[in-house]
Structure 1
Amino acid sequence: MDVAGGRELAWDGCVNVRDLGGLGRIRPGAVVRMEAPTRLSESGWAAAWAHGVRTVVDLRHADECRPDVAPRPPGMTTVRIPLDPVGTPFYERWQKIDNLASPLYYPAVLAEHPEPVVAAVRAIATAAPGCVVFHCAGGKDRTGLLALVLLTSAGATPEEIIADYLLTFERMRRRYAELGFGDQLAAVNERLAGHDTTIAASLTSTVGSLTMPDFLLDNGLSEADLAALRARLTT
């Protein structure tokens, strides 16, 4: 059975698009995760609009961005919140450890640089009415980190979060091959094995380290924004 549970969305031009509704207390149509929407066709953007998307939160740095194949619908807002702390000692250190391309760095970034993550949560909480899409480049690591925070805040289990994270490897397999990359799941498993852990153990540990809503409130999210987040995700 497909662990996506019917959450997958067919938006022409992209392959890694899914609604987080049904995980924890998140309602369908609240938030969608995906890879960069650069390849979305006109009909792909129309499908996003029909799904209710009115805000796109881009977690990439400006130098990663490329022009869209087709124009975004008028009335759809894009908010850019780079999630990786580029230019910091943290970034240089973790590039050497795992190239910020596995769940291994999640606990460290949440502890040392929580502000961009909370800023992205705030952008989702305070977005205009409608569905919010969030993405990075491949929809795996930065997108996976923000998904983990949102899902944990909404009471999703570690098992749900792990299963959702793993879906990206299969969905992006062809894209990775086009870029000349090998089996990314095997690469991440090997990297984590070198640190005596696994994807499941690493994600479970990260989820267990997050006390919600304290993590969000202690790192700058206001009570009003927390209420807005709950309303968006669960009502």
Structure 2
Amino acid sequence: MTGGRELSWDGCVNVRDLGGLGRVRPRAVVRMEAPTRLSEVGWAAAWAHGVRTVIDLRDPDEREPERAPRPPGIATVYVPQDPVGTPFYEQWKEIDSLASPLYYPAMLVEHPEPVVTAVRAIANAAPGCVVFHCAGGKDRTGLLALVVLTLAGAAPDEIIADYLLTYDRMKRRYDELGFRDQLAAVTELLTARDTTFEASLTSTIAALKMPDFLLDNGLSDTELAALYARLTL
């Protein structure tokens, strides 16, 4: 259930506030798909929600022209998450195209830097709500949400339920693009490896020791304090 977390921003279908999960306060962080289709009305709704920073997790070659200009008071921070050109990236492109929770544990161990850089961007953002997104708001966005929510004490079932919402929210978009049903496709991939969404995500969350993961990978004590102050009730 999403309660009052669902946001209606014209042009986007996968927008939700993470407030209410664990100790996250409302209007601190929002996850969404790329705001490419967000209209002027949609951007006005984001501004009214308090959004002052947008963190883009996509690679540079994924960025597309947007339907409407962003309000001038919203800062954009680019923090690409895919470690393109590494053996890790080539390996996981073959396994799941970095489009399932299977790659999460290996990413956090082998390439924690992009994730921690994104967390740092949240901590250091100007006052106001922070939005983060990738393309569909599912995988890279899902991993960052998992890290943030684990830090904020969200229960595994809350994190998993939030992750799975994207499959329903984005189904219409994927149908428009002629893509296979993504929930069915990823379920099949996980089943072939004798796991499930729940088991895969639960094991990732259990192995993620907080705040040690962030501090051990470069987040400072000052940044951690700023992150807690931004996120938590």
Both structures adopt the same fold (TM-score exceeding 0.5): yes
Distance (Å, rounded) in 1 between the aligned partners of 2:98 and 2:72 = 34
Superimposed CA distance per residue, residues 34-93 of structure 1 (whole angstroms, 9 cap, x where no aligned partner): 000010000000000000000000000110000110000011000000001011100000
1:6 alignment partner, SS class: helix
Superimposed CA distance per residue, residues 137-195 of structure 1 (whole angstroms, 9 cap, x where no aligned partner): 00000000000000000000110001000100110010000111121101001001111
Q: What number of residue pairs does the alignment pair up?
A: 233
Distance (Å, rounded) in 2 between the aligned partners of 1:112 and 1:27 = 31
Distance (Å, rounded) in 2 between the aligned partners of 1:157 and 1:216 = 19
Task: Report deviation, 1:206.
Answer: 0.2
**2:70 counterpart (69, 72, 80):** 72
* Structure 2: gaps spanning 5 or more residues: none
**1:228 counterpart (214, 226, 229):** 226
Distance (Å, rounded) in 1 between the aligned partners of 2:29 and 2:57 = 14
Superimposed CA distance per residue, residues 190-214 of structure 1 (whole angstroms, 9 cap, x where no aligned partner): 0011111000100000000001000
Aligned to 2:161: 163
Aligned to 1:35: 33
Distance (Å, rounded) in 1 between the aligned partners of 2:180 and 2:94 = 19
Distance (Å, rounded) in 2 between the aligned partners of 1:102 and 1:82 = 17
- Give the 5 Å matches for 1:111-130: 111-130=109-128
Task: Report deviation, 1:4.
Answer: 1.2
**2:91 counterpart (90, 93, 101):** 93
Distance (Å, rounded) in 2 between the aligned partners of 1:111 and 1:194 = 23
Task: Report deviation, 1:6.
Answer: 1.9
Distance (Å, rounded) in 2 between the aligned partners of 1:82 and 1:128 = 20
* Structure 1: gaps spanning 5 or more residues: none
Distance (Å, rounded) in 2 between the aligned partners of 1:102 and 1:5 = 26
Aligned to 1:149: 147
1:122 alignment partner, SS class: helix
Verify: 1:132 aligned to 2:125, yes or no. Answer: no
Task: Report deviation, 1:24.
Answer: 0.3
Aligned to 1:102: 100
- What TM-score comes out, normalization by structure 2 length? 0.99
- The one-letter code sitting in structure 2 at the alignment partner of 1:145 is L
1:79 alignment partner, SS class: strand
- What TM-score comes out, normalization by structure 1 length? 0.98
Distance (Å, rounded) in 1 between the aligned partners of 2:198 and 2:185 = 15
Distance (Å, rounded) in 2 between the aligned partners of 1:211 and 1:196 = 25
Task: Report deviation, 1:133.
Answer: 0.1
- The one-letter code sitting in structure 2 at the alignment partner of 1:128 is A
Distance (Å, rounded) in 2 between the aligned partners of 1:9 and 1:68 = 19
Aligned to 2:17: 19
- The one-letter code sitting in structure 2 at the alignment partner of 1:155 is G
CA-atom RMSD, angstroms? Answer: 0.5
- The one-letter code sitting in structure 2 at the alignment partner of 1:39 is R
Distance (Å, rounded) in 2 between the aligned partners of 1:182 and 1:82 = 26
